[in-house]
Structures are given as structure tokens and as C-alpha cells.
Amino acid sequence: MMKKIILLLTMMFLLVMTAGAQKREMRGAWIQCVNGQFQGMGTVKMQQTLTYQLDELQKDGVNVIIFQVRPECDALYESKIEPWSRFLTGKQGVAPQPYWDPLQWMITECHKRGMELHAWINPYRAKTKGTHQLASNHIAVRKPMSCFAYDEQFILNPGMAENRDYICEVAKDIVSRYDVDGIHMDDYFYPYPVKGESIPDDELFRAHSNGIKDQNDWRRYNVNLFIEQFYKTIHETKPWVKVGISPFGIYRNKKSSSIGSNTNGLQNYDELYADILLWVNNGWLDYCVPQIYWEWNQYASNRPLIIGEDVERTVKFSDLNNPKIHQLPAKMTLHKQLPYVKGSVLWYAKAVVDNVGNYGTTLRNVYWKNPALQPEMPFIDSKAPQKVKKLKPMWIDGDYVLFWTAPSAKSWDDEAVKYVVYRFAKNEKVDINDPSKIMTITNETFYKLPYEKGKEKWTYVVTALDRLQNESKIAKKKIKL
């Protein structure tokens, strides 16, 4: 009996904490390949696995999939620049059989489900520890001097301008040929430090220091040049494609900087030579996803701050104030309290799908029960599309369907690509700021209505969204169902 009471109180607590749910929120999940979960699986089995994952994540309320497509200067997509990944077929350079393009397939499947697809690349890592054979067209084989060895890995040397150009060429190829919604980099810039190993770039520093006297400052300068170039490359290719970066969680420790966090761990700025706050404040990225958080809310407000959450750690540890529950409620509460936090990305997707610690069920029943639009990004585009036209219900083959026509558009920034369908009861005020009234977010221009006896009156509202999910004015229709 006591267990039932505790469960009931917990659910009541969760429902109270989620009152006033957010209408705009990035709700992402990372699907990685570098852990080998798809390696050698084969086309049919991998498609079945991904279909199941996407279906479950959709039920859980996820609206962005971050899909790893370039773990070690290779490709989980058709590329003329880099070889097929061993994390797909088991051997680098070998195409999948039966042939398919995982990136294109994922774009199609995500868009069908109303999700965004962000292509996730590892910029500098050219070989992971477990890779023992490289394809003949791999960059480390074609241009071995472009890389250095470190901790059984190969790293494209950030101090070489040609490597910055090369990574940007790869990214531009992806963005120009695929309808991705974003391109995403994780935390691997200069390599994570390993005791007893040093980065072999002394000679390069002496020859190309650009007048910078401190070698650490020079390394940060190299990465800064790349980030700025990368951002400009993407937006010159397709202005609407979002650039996201997911750094390690600590910018700097308090003992190193007055704006550091109350931590004592590895630092982006000092050990990885990644000056994240500079990139944020210079507008060289569109969203920032630190992998766990300390004082990011205060200093990273110039771009949407999205929190990288570890699912397994969240459910493994108890709430500090209530040992009977895990930490998900406290973390979600903290997100809502911090004004610059605009969502979260879950590490990793399979843990959510496997419903570790009831995490997935809690998302779909409580926190992410209602659909959400993406955070606004007015620094890219703030103009909304025109409203939809010819909103009308019709009977089609025994189904009652609400149809509409896309608004006219002159350019990408006012083109409608998705639509939001809301429903309001009779005499209920139409308020599209209430996310509980969202029935669906869809890329179709129709919606199947739940017709019963034709006696109950409802008001349906449809709005148009452009590529940055700026929302149009409403079109509404009163319908008997």
C-alpha cells in the first residue's frame, strides 16, 4: 500500500511541476554509431532497428535526431570525398549491401515523423583506437602529414589551414546535397589529454605562430579560426541549416577563471583549447549543447542553450532532496528555472528507447506529452510565412479529413515547410500558446479528423511554419465531429 501511495504522490508531483509546459523546446536525442551498435548489422536489420528507435522516440516527444554520420573522417552516406565507415559495414571503404544511404534514409524517416535531422560529424578525429585498417582514399592515407598520432588515434592537425578547409569541404558537401536541418559537432577538437603523451605540434607552432607567443593560445586560435570558417561555410551554402556544437561540460573551473564553474575537472578552454563562450558570443554557432552543465546559463545566453543529459546517470542517482525518486524531476525543474535553457538532448537515444529507469515513459506521459516547436532563432530568420489557405474538411474514402493549401512564398525564409494543427472545444478561447492544444506538427497539408457522431463542435486551427519554425497567423474552422 505504501508503494502505491509513494507512486501516486510522485506522479502528482511530476504533473504539478510540468504545469505550464513550454511550447518551444528542442527535444533531441543522439544516435551514435561509434559504439558499434550498427556495425555489420546489414541494411534490412539496421533499417528495422532505426525504424523502431524513431517510432519510440516520436512517442516520447523527441523532435530532433542528431545522427552520427562521420566518426573518423569516413561516411555513413554516399561520399566522393571520404570512404564508407566501418561502423556501418564492418570494413572501411566497403559500401553497404543491399545498397542504401543511411543519411538520406534518416532524413526521410525523421521528416515523416515531424522531426528535424541534424547530421553529426566529428571534425578532427581521423582514426579511433579500434580501427586498424584504413581505406585507400582515407585522408590519413592520402595525406599522412595532415594528421598526428595520439593515444592510438589519428587527429587532423588543427594548426594546418588545409585541414580547416578540408573539414569545411566535407561539411559543405553534406549540406549542399542533403536536406538536413542542422549540422552538429561534438567535443573532439584537440584530443583529450592522456598522461605521458604530448601533442606533436612544436615545430608547426614555431613555423606558423602568427605572432602568438603562448602555444596554448595558438592552439585556441587555430580552433577559433576553424569554427568561424565552418559557420560561415554552412550559412553561405544554406542559410537555414543550424550549426550546433556540443562541448564537454566544463568551460573552466573556478580556480582558473572568475567565470568558471564550481568544479575541478577537465576544462574546454585549457585542455581541449576550445573557447566555447567566444564562439557563442561571436555568433559562430546557432545552438550550444554542453554535455552536462554548471554555470552555462549565465554566460552562454547569446545563443539557445540546450542541455546535454546523460539518461543512465540521471536514473542511476537519487534526487538530493528525495531519495525515493531519481534525478529527472529535479533536472527538468532546473531547466524551466533557467531562462536561457531552451531544451535538452539525450545521451543516448537507445537508453531512452530501452526505457531505462522509466525515463522514456515519463517523457511521453509527463514532460514531453505535448508536441513542441523548435526554439526561435531570430539571428537567422524572424519572418513568419503567410497563413494557410482554403482550410476545409472533406470526406475522402470514408475518412473525414481537414485539408489546406500552402501559402505562397518568394524565398526560403517565408516558405511553409510544416504545419501545426490545434484543437479547441466549443466556447473555449483560441490560444495557440497552450501546447496542450497541439494535435500534431506535420509536413503534410491535411489531417485526419477523429469523427464520431457529428454532434460535438470543435474549432480547428492551422498555422504554417517555415524552416526556422517561425509561425504564421492562424486559419481556423469550426467542425462538428
Q: What pLDDT is attached to residue 300?
A: 73
DSSP symbol at 204 = H
Cα distances from 421 to residues 68, 111, 329, 399, in angstroms, run 31, 16, 29, 17
Q: What pLDDT is attached to residue 297?
A: 61
Question: Could you give the CA distance from residue 275 to residue 287 in angstroms, rounded to a whole number?
Answer: 15
How many other C-beta atoms lie within 10 A of the C-beta of residue 176? 11
End-to-end, the C-alpha distance of the chain in Å comes to 42
Q: What pLDDT is attached to residue 11?
A: 45
Q: Which three cell numbers stand for residue 469?
A: 519554425
Per-residue pLDDT of the chain (481 residues; tens, 9 = 90+): 444 433 444 444 444 444 457 899 999 999 999 999 999 999 999 999 999 999 999 999 999 999 999 999 999 999 999 999 999 999 999 999 999 999 999 999 999 999 999 999 999 999 999 999 999 999 999 999 999 999 999 999 999 999 999 999 999 999 999 999 999 999 999 999 999 999 999 999 999 999 999 999 999 999 999 999 999 999 999 999 999 999 999 999 999 999 998 889 999 999 999 999 999 999 999 999 999 744 456 667 789 999 999 999 999 988 888 888 998 999 999 889 988 999 999 999 999 999 999 999 999 999 999 999 999 999 999 999 999 999 999 999 999 999 999 999 999 999 999 999 999 999 999 999 999 999 999 999 999 999 999 999 999 999 999 999 999 999 999 999 9
Contact 346, 352 (CB under 8 A): yes
Closest C-alpha to 27, from 419, 469, 472: 469
Q: What pLDDT is attached to residue 5?
A: 38
Q: Which three cell numbers stand for residue 171?
A: 561539411
Q: How many CA atoms lie within 13 A of 124 on its CB side?
A: 27
Is the entire prediction scored with pTM above 0.85? yes
Q: What pLDDT is attached to residue 13?
A: 45
Question: Could you give the CA distance from residue 472 to residue 404 in angstroms, rounded to a whole number?
Answer: 14
